[in-house]
Amino acid sequence: MKRIVLTGGGTAGHVTPNIALLPALTKEGFDIHYIGSYDGIERKLIEELGIPYYGISSGKLRRYFDPKNFSDPFKVIKGMFEANSLLKKLKPNVVFSKGGFVTVPVVLAAKRRGVPAIIHESDMTPGLANKICISSAKKVCANFPETVKYLPEGKAILTGTPIRQELFSGNKLAGLDFCGFTANKPVILVIGGSTGSVVVNEAVRKVLPTLLKQYQVIHLCGKDKADPEFNNLPGYIQFEYIKKELSDLLDAADIVISRAGANAICELLALRKPNILIPLSAASSRGDQILNAESFERQGFSYVLKEEALTPDSLLEAVHTVYNSRTTYIDAMSKSKLNNSIDTIMNIIKETAL
Ligand SMILES: CC(=O)N[C@H]1[C@@H](OP(=O)(O)OP(=O)(O)OC[C@H]2O[C@@H](n3ccc(=O)[nH]c3=O)[C@H](O)[C@@H]2O)O[C@H](CO)[C@@H](O)[C@@H]1O
């Protein structure tokens, strides 16, 4: 039996693609283990699936000043020792890394121990953790065609992003029922990324009185970001994070307002959900979501509303435009060649495993 170590964490976007691969890996008979941080979201998401989980120390590698810049390098070094001894013990045939800072010690230790590592990059340009790991990896899977030019020749493969199969079996009525909604009014699903978004939350809450005249709103607002002031508002419901009911909520949604995290937008594309993307600004990130969103807009999959243009009026205008042109967006998405990539990635894993 071949053994695989999966790694990835920090935010759910660095974990859900690994979760999407689990059924195929199990079917192929892989013995699956997961290395993540001691206390990141990955621990909870993976442990509840019954996959053996090993925590290591993880520090963030920042490009800006933060007092933690003095302590985090020590955590990274500790993480390297821990990853090395875990790989020595587990002796995997292959490592698959979805990115996030916790993956750096794991991929570097894999290289040291002669274990082939595969990296997956779901954003248009590689994140810092993946950039550090690329030279230690055997193969790099990319989600966007544009990404391949940033990757070394011979390593890069355009695969797309693995999407959890259960998202395709949502039930609209179950979703409406879960929210206590009626089938008579269209539904807007708001997703502020896996951690929620204060900017998106505030923008949506400001226009709620107008929105609720015509729509019902399901709001995935992020951990500790629910606002009790809006509880019991007819036609509006907020959740901090949704797991198994997500497929039903997506099926119940006529349109989606979302951040432009790579996994979230690939899921919307695969499910053909007309969407408005509000990418995280370049001031508070490396600008990856802006590039993701612009690529989707160019291809006719999304309506993009940048943070600097986000006002109550522009948001309402975007909602009405996307709702009224939803068939145009669905047609464009139906022609997309960016498909669910599980089979392609499984072939790469099987070919690469020692
Ligand atoms: C702030 C930040 O650093 N964001 C990055 C992070 O986003 P983030 O972690 O938000 O990741 P994505 O938006 O790509 O994916 C979110 C995932 O969480 C799931 N989900 C979300 C809400 C919920 O209630 N339930 C649920 O299951 C979504 O279905 C999706 O699978 O990683 C992405 C992928 O590298 C990047 O593109 C983003 O720029």
Give 141 Cα–ligand 1 centroid separation in angstroms: 18
Q: What is the ipTM of this complex?
A: 0.96
**Could you tell me the sign of the dihedral formed by the alpha carbons of 223, 307, 277, 8, in that order?**
negative
Q: Give long-range contacts, CB 8 A cutoff, 24+ apart: 347-351.
A: 348/118, 348/139, 348/141, 348/157, 348/159, 349/4, 349/21, 349/25, 349/30, 349/94, 349/96, 349/118, 350/28
CATH 3.40.50.2000 residue ranges in the chain? Answer: 3-161+339-352, 166-334
Pocket test for ligand 1, best of 120, 194, 259 (most atoms within 8 A of CB): 194
Report the run of H or E that residue 145 belongs to, with start and end.
none
Instruction: Encode pLDDT of 223-249 as tens digits.
Output: 999 999 999 899 999 999 999 999 999
Q: Spell out a b/e string for 114-145, using b for 16 or more CB atoms within 10 Å of the CB, else e.
A: ebbbbbbbbbbbbbebbbbbbebbbbbbbbbe
Pocket test for ligand 1, best of 63, 263, 267, 273 (most atoms within 8 A of CB): 263
Between 70 and 252, residue with greater pLDDT: 252
User: Position of tokens 């979760």?
Assistant: 19
pLDDT, average across residues 276-295: 92
Give 287 Cα–ligand 1 centroid separation in angstroms: 15
Pocket test for ligand 1, best of 7, 11, 341 (most atoms within 8 A of CB): 11
Residues with CB under 6 A from ligand 1: 11-14, 16, 122-123, 191, 193-195, 220, 241-242, 246, 259, 261-264, 267, 280, 288-289
Assign 322 to helix, strand or coil. helix
First to last CA, the chain: 11
Domain 166-334 has CATH 3.30.70.340: no
How many Cα atoms are found within 13 Å in the side-chain-facing hemisphere of 183? 6
Q: pLDDT value at position 28? A: 96
The span from the CA of 349 to the CA of 354, in Å, is 10
Q: pLDDT value at position 59? A: 75
Instruction: Encode pLDDT of 125-137 as tens digits.
Output: 998 899 999 999 9
User: Position of tokens 């997956």?
Assistant: 120
Instruction: Encode pLDDT of 47-65 as tens digits.
Output: 999 999 999 998 776 566 6
Model-level pTM?
Answer: 0.92
The span from the CA of 318 to the CA of 204, in Å, is 12
pLDDT, average across residues 327-350: 91
Between 153 and 216, residue with greater pLDDT: 216
pLDDT, average across residues 296-319: 97
- Written as one string, the DSSP assignment of 38-91 is SSSHHHHHHHTTT--EEEE------SS--GGGTTHHHHHHHHHHHHHHHHHHH-
Under the banding of pLDDT at 50, 70 and 90, the label for residue 76 is confident
Q: Are 92 and 115 in contact (CB under 8 A)?
A: yes
As assigned by CATH, the class of the 3-161+339-352 domain is alpha beta
Q: Which of 271, 257, 289 is nearest to 190 (CA)?
A: 257
DSSP for residue 325: T
